[in-house]
Amino acid sequence: MALKTKVKEYRENAGLKQSELAELVHARRETIVHLENGKYNPSLKLAMDIAKVFHVTVEDLFEFTEN
Amino acid sequence: MALKTKVKEYRENAGLKQSELAELVHARRETIVHLENGKYNPSLKLAMDIAKVFHVTVEDLFEFTEN
DNA sequence: AAGAAATGTGAAATATTTTTAACTTACAGG
DNA sequence: CCTGTAAGTTAAAAATATTTCACATTTCTT
B58 touches chain A (CB under 8 A): yes
Higher pLDDT, B37 or B56: B56
Report CA(B24)–C1'(C22) in Å, whole number: 43
What does the pLDDT read at residue A40?
85
Number of domains in chain A: 1
**Which bases of chain D are contacted by protein, using any atom under 7 A from a CB?**
6-11, 16-22
Can you tell me the mean pLDDT for B32-48? 91
Quick check: A67 pLDDT over 60? no
Q: Lowest-confidence range among A35-44, B13-22, B51-60? A: A35-44
* Domain hosting residue A8, numbered range: 2-65
Dihedral of CA B3/B9/B12/B14: which sign?
Answer: negative
Distance of residue B43 Cα from the nearest chain A Cα, in angstroms: 4
CATH number of residue B9's parent domain: 1.10.260.40
Considering only CA atoms, give the Rg of chain B.
Answer: 11
Report CA(A3)–C1'(C26) in Å, whole number: 26
Can you tell me the mean pLDDT for B27-50? 92
Render pLDDT for A41-54 as a digit per residue (tens, 0 to 9): 999 999 999 999 99
A44 touches chain B (CB under 8 A): yes
| Selected residue of A35, A45, A56 to mutate for chain B interface (largest B Cβ count, 10 A) | A45
What does the pLDDT read at residue A20?
95
Contacts of B63 (CB under 8 A, 6+ apart): B3, B4, B5
What does the pLDDT read at residue B67?
55
Question: What is the rounded distance in angstroms from the CA atom of residue B65 to the CA atom of residue A65?
Answer: 30
B43 touches chain A (CB under 8 A): yes
Can you tell me the mean pLDDT for A10-39? 92
Alpha helices in A1-67 (DSSP H): 7-13, 18-24, 29-37, 44-54, 58-61
- Residue spans of beta strands (DSSP E) within B1-67: 2-5, 62-65
